[in-house]
Structure 1
Amino acid sequence: MLSSNRLRVLLEVFRAGSIAAAARELKLSPSAVSHQLARLEDEAGVGLVERNAQSLRLTDAGRRLAHRAQEVVDILEAAEKDLRAQARVDAGALRIGFFASAGYRLVPLALSRFADRYPAVTLDLVEGQPFELLPDLERGALDILVVFEHALDPWDRPEGIEVVPLLDEPQLLVVPNGHPAARRPRIRLADLADEPWITTFGADHPVSILERAGALEGFTPQIRCRSDHYEVTIGLVRAGLGVALVPSLGLHGVTGVQIRRLQTPQLHRRIGVARRATNPNPAAKSFTAYLRTAAAQLRNSLPA
């Protein structure tokens, strides 16, 4: 393997026309330049320089290698430029994964402010369930992943992944307008045991949070429909086809239904930012701060 540093020396000798001139440009002694050339010849296995008492010139092989050295130096300088750009928050790229209801307000609010501050950062956005996108975060295809975990279904974070908490978000009861449950001052999940339910498919297993909570209160919910799209869930509830549990982030601006908090303390999920502890991308740390600010703003405006 040829040394890139010695290739730089050869290139400078080619440009300057002499060892002395190259030494001045490289801020080395002439003997050091000669030594580097000799080492490069050993690595190449071919003579690169013709020397005599009065002058020095490159052999055909030396000139050909000098041209190649220019290509190598150009590539290295481009790589260094890219690295310097990545070391700054105001350049480079940021790859963000997030789940659907975080994409309603939380992520857009943070992104709009981040993009205004750092318009040169290239953003790559991927929507999906946390358990689907976590492998991408682990292998480096994502820098940031907005995640959630339910109090009734905690997950073990993989080694090397840290999670910065953003907010705790309640699971709220959604019923059609005029439903008797909306008039009760206190509602337990078991009070709705005979209702048809609209629920989710669950995360990486088929049992939803509703079914886990129902089991704790001694009943099995009657599932009429499963959907991971809260617009669908709310539309079915609005049409009187069932009741549902929906997290607060999925209820912004919803009309035509009644929203109530249940007397079940475990019915909440924790929203956070997952990232690799070793990720050197400075934009990841900066965007996390913007997410925390957005979460603090949303915390006071979520339906309660």
Structure 2
Amino acid sequence: MIDLRRLHVLRAVAHYGTVTAAARALHFTPSAASQQIRQLARDLGVDLLEPQGRGVRLTPAAESLLAHADAIQARWDQAELDLRADHGAPSGVLRVTGFPVAVSVLLAPMAARLGERHPRLSVRITEAGVPESFDLLFEGDIDLAIVESTPHNPPLSDTRFDQQPLLDDPFDLVVPDGHRLAGRARVDLAEAAHEAWIAPVEESACRPHVLSACGAAGFTPDVVHHALDWNVAAHLVAHRLGVALVPRLAHLTPHLPITRVRCEGNPHRKLLTCTRGGGHARPAVATALRELRELAATAVA
């Protein structure tokens, strides 16, 4: 008989990429995590890990087992939902997460609405980046996340997660007041090809979107400053240190001497809702998703 706790350790190794990272996430020592997998391998009579350089990799048998493990986890989650069902009424604690703009513009007003309409439901918000959100979902620490679509996200075919489109958030070109492009209703990004640029930091989920938008316009931006926060980028623009692409959902500090100009071709980032596989069926999550879709419909002017 398979020990589900040992199976979860194997799932964590597959998710985090190494035994050490999986052990850290599960609050195990690496030797304890390795022992759990060795015991699972003995129970099943197959090898689950094999050497690869200085590390290890999953064997074909482990890959096959994981396909069943994800299905087992989804069924277990559904069993918990069925046991806790309360005639479909949203109740209990709903744990949600998102990156800063998603929290400010979508999750905070969603929580306020749910608090007014469903007094038996308590919403708990945690701010987290995109990779962290997937880790929190995988570990069962949250129920619902808003994430940006990036090349590093798990594929949509990954049955551990249910990722659904929420909205497209356009990028605007932000320039100083009085800039040659400031009076335009729309601008082709190619017209800013020779400007100094302010871009998101290397680890930002938005950086690939900004560079891709410039690439689609036929140029590589001359990035002279990097910012983690959109308002930092706005202040740099206000001091005439460069131009920037900023998502329309990002609320910038008011009264700065800057102008937001819409872009031809509508460069944008995609925002997704994400739950664990089957998690959207929980009444609290389904209610939250409906509220988020209503908010998303009017969020981008």
What TM-score, normalized to structure 1? 0.63
Distance 1:171 1:190 in 2: 14
* Alignment CA distance shift 1:223-1:249 (3 Å): same
1:291 partner letter = L
Aligned ranges 1:202-217 → 2 under 5 Å: 202=202, 208-217=208-217
Aligned ranges 1:114-263 → 2 under 5 Å: 114-149=114-149, 156-157=155-156, 158-202=158-202, 208-251=208-251, 254-256=254-256, 257-263=258-264
Aligned ranges 1:10-21 → 2 under 5 Å: none
Does the residue aligned with 1:141 lie in a helix, a strand or coil? coil
Q: Per-residue displacement from partner, 1:52-84 (whole Å, max 9, x unpaired)?
A: xxxxxxxxxxxxxxxxxxxxxxxxxxxx9xx54
Comparing 105-114 with 173-182, greater Cα deviation is found at: 105-114
In the alignment, what sits opposite 1:284? 285
Offset, 1:125: 1.4
In the alignment, what sits opposite 1:93? 93
Offset, 1:204: 7.0
* Alignment CA distance shift 1:87-1:99 (3 Å): farther
Distance 2:138 2:295 in 1: 25
The count of residues paired between Structure 1 and Structure 2 equals 218
Aligned ranges 1:59-70 → 2 under 5 Å: none
Structure 2: any 5+ residue segments left out of the alignment? 1-79
Offset, 1:94: 0.8
Offset, 1:193: 1.7
Offset, 1:102: 1.2
Given that 1:182 and 1:258 are in contact with CA atoms closer than 8 Å, whether structure 2 keeps it comes out as yes
2:268 partner letter = H
Q: Per-residue displacement from partner, 1:196-224 (whole Å, max 9, x unpaired)?
A: 11111255789632223333333221212
Comparing 223-232 with 196-205, greater Cα deviation is found at: 196-205
Offset, 1:86: 6.8
In the alignment, what sits opposite 1:11? none
What TM-score, normalized to structure 2? 0.64
Offset, 1:273: 0.9
Distance 2:92 2:152 in 1: 36
Given that 2:209 and 2:269 are in contact with CA atoms closer than 8 Å, whether structure 1 keeps it comes out as no
Offset, 1:154: 7.9
Given that 2:169 and 2:269 are in contact with CA atoms closer than 8 Å, whether structure 1 keeps it comes out as yes
Alignment RMSD (CA, Å): 2.9
In the alignment, what sits opposite 2:17? none
* Alignment CA distance shift 1:149-1:108 (3 Å): same
Offset, 1:185: 4.9
In the alignment, what sits opposite 1:295? 296
Q: Per-residue displacement from partner, 1:19-46 (whole Å, max 9, x unpaired)?
A: xxxxxxxxxxxxxxxxxxxxxxxxxxxx
Percent identity over the alignment is 30
Structure 1: any 5+ residue segments left out of the alignment? 1-79
**Structure with the greater alpha carbon radius of gyration:** 1
* Alignment CA distance shift 1:167-1:198 (3 Å): same
Offset, 1:180: 0.6
Given that 1:176 and 1:238 are in contact with CA atoms closer than 8 Å, whether structure 2 keeps it comes out as yes
Offset, 1:252: 6.1
Q: Per-residue displacement from partner, 1:90-113 (whole Å, max 9, x unpaired)?
A: 421111011111122222221110
